[in-house]
Structures are given as structure tokens and as C-alpha cells.
Chain A
Amino acid sequence: KQEVTQIPAALSVPEGENLVLNCSFTDSAIYNLQWFRQDPGKGLTSLLLIQSSQREQTSGRLNASLDKSSGRSTLYIAASQPGDSATYLCAVRPRGNNRLAFGKGNQVVVIP
């Protein structure tokens, strides 16, 4: 069974600092890995999707890397802003499986 772990569970950073969020998964047989953002009381917004053959994806201030062999992904958010405050969820799509396996999230607060 695929297990997804996100560390740290919660963190606070001052505005302008770079954010580093870590995700690890136990089974490297995946189709892809996806990072989502969830705001309180809201659904999930997809941020980046990395296919299993890719090493990283970038969108604006966001960069996500994937090391499939070691079962790790890192989400970098450059020059954090208060609007980046949210919970960030990592999910993998295992091979041979229709479901996404989610971590419990990194809860981020960016302090103005």
C-alpha cells in the first residue's frame, strides 16, 4: 500500500523567505505526482503535476522536483507572500491504481 508523508506538518515563515515543503512516498511505481493547494473551507487547486519520467516542473514562483527512485518530492515557493498561506497537499498516482494517494498536508502561514 502506498504511504505518503509530508514534513513538516505545519510551518510559519516571514514574508519574503523561500518555502521548502517535503513529500515522501513508499512505492516508486507511480504514474505521476501532483501538488495541490487547499484554502480553509475550499476545495483543492492543482499547482503542479510531474509525470514519472520528469524530474521537475515550474510555474511562476513554484518549482517541484521529483526523485522517483528515492520516493521524494520537494515543492519550493520563492519569495513567499501572505497570500501563499494555505495547506499544501502532495498526492501520487500509483501504477495499476485509479486513486490518488494523499499526504496529510503541510500547513503554511506566511507572516507579513
Chain B
Amino acid sequence: GAGVSQSPSNKVTEKGKDVELRCDPISGHTALYWYRQRLGQGLEFLIYFQGNSAPDKSGLPSDRFSAERTGESVSTLTIQRTQQEDSAVYLCASSRGRKIETQYFGPGTRLLVL
């Protein structure tokens, strides 16, 4: 595809349920990032994947959050036992992997936890 795609675009779930969010990066991009944007807040870094290296998980807010990526393709972000404070827009970005490169963002998944 031409850009980063994410699914679902919107997700409403009940507190305590698990959710899985998906990101398809731009083909050939080795770096993939997840960010979270809560209402009225700036974007918060969650996790970074670069090729086959160990991911940088330092931004994950709790052990309820996890993410996987197979090679240089699709990534999934999983939130277990969702809480109301998890409600946010979850944005995925990819880049060609060099630190000077532009990050290209997907449209985001809007998560609402009731």
C-alpha cells in the first residue's frame, strides 16, 4: 500500500476486556513505532521495532500492554484487561530506519473503554 494502515479505525470495548490493534507499515520500512494520544495530551511513545533487533519497550505504561512484530511486516499492539484510562487514539508510524528519516503515520485506532 501507499501508506501506513491501521485497523480497526474505531474500537469500543468494556472495561476488563482485551483488545488487539493492528498496524501495516509502508513496505520496505524497517522501523515501526507505536504512540498513544490521549484527549488533550501530546503523543506518548509506547514501543519501537527496528528490523530483527530487540524492541525498545521503554514507553509501555504497564505490563497490560504488549506488542509484537514479525520481521519487517505487520505489528499488533495488545492491551489486556482494559481500563478507562486506556481510552485514546493509538497511532502507528514507520520509517526507513535511519535516525534522520521521516516517520510516516497511520490514521490511528480510536479506542474507547466503557
Is B56 part of the binding interface, using a Cβ–Cβ cutoff of 8 Å? yes
Is B65 part of the binding interface, using a Cβ–Cβ cutoff of 8 Å? no
Binding stretch for chain B, among A62-70, A71-79, A97-105: A97-105
Instruction: Determine which of B33, B91, B104 lies in contact with A46 in the assembled complex, contact meaning CB atoms within 8 Å.
Output: B104
Structural contact, B43 and A89, CB atoms closer than 8 A: yes
> Could you tell me the distance between the alpha carbons of A105 and B42 in the complex, rounded to whole angstroms?
7
Instruction: Determine which of B56, B100, B103 lies in contact with A100 in the assembled complex, contact meaning CB atoms within 8 Å.
Output: B103
Residues of A contacting B: mostly: strand
Instruction: Determine which of A46, A98, A104 lies in contact with B48 in the assembled complex, contact meaning CB atoms within 8 Å.
Output: A98
Q: Chain A residues near B110: list those with CB within 8 A.
A: 41
Closest-by-CB residue of B relative to A46 is B102
Closest-by-CB residue of A relative to B43 is A102
Closest-by-CB residue of A relative to B44 is A102
Report 28 cross-chain contacts, Cβ distance below 8 Å, ordered by A residue: A4-B42, A31-B99, A31-B100, A34-B102, A36-B105, A42-B107, A42-B108, A43-B91, A43-B106, A44-B91, A44-B105, A45-B105, A89-B43, A91-B43, A98-B33, A98-B50, A98-B56, A99-B33, A99-B48, A99-B56, A99-B59, A100-B35, A100-B103, A101-B45, A102-B43, A104-B41, A104-B42, A105-B42
Q: For the side of the interface on A, what is the size category?
A: 20 to 34
Q: Which 7 A-B pairs have the closest CB atoms?
A: A99-B45, A44-B105, A43-B107, A102-B43, A98-B48, A104-B42, A102-B42
> Could you tell me the distance between the alpha carbons of A99 and B31 in the complex, rounded to whole angstroms?
11
- Give residues in A with beta carbon < 8 Å to B: 4, 31-32, 34, 36, 41-46, 49, 51, 89, 91, 93, 98-105
Which residue of A36, A42, A43, A103 has the most chain B CB atoms within 10 A of its CB atom?
A: A43
Q: Chain B residues near A89: list those with CB within 8 A.
A: 42-43
> Could you tell me the distance between the alpha carbons of A89 and B89 in the complex, rounded to whole angstroms?
15
Q: Chain A residues near B107: list those with CB within 8 A.
A: 42-43
Instruction: Determine which of A42, A46, A51, A101 lies in contact with B103 in the assembled complex, contact meaning CB atoms within 8 Å.
Output: A46
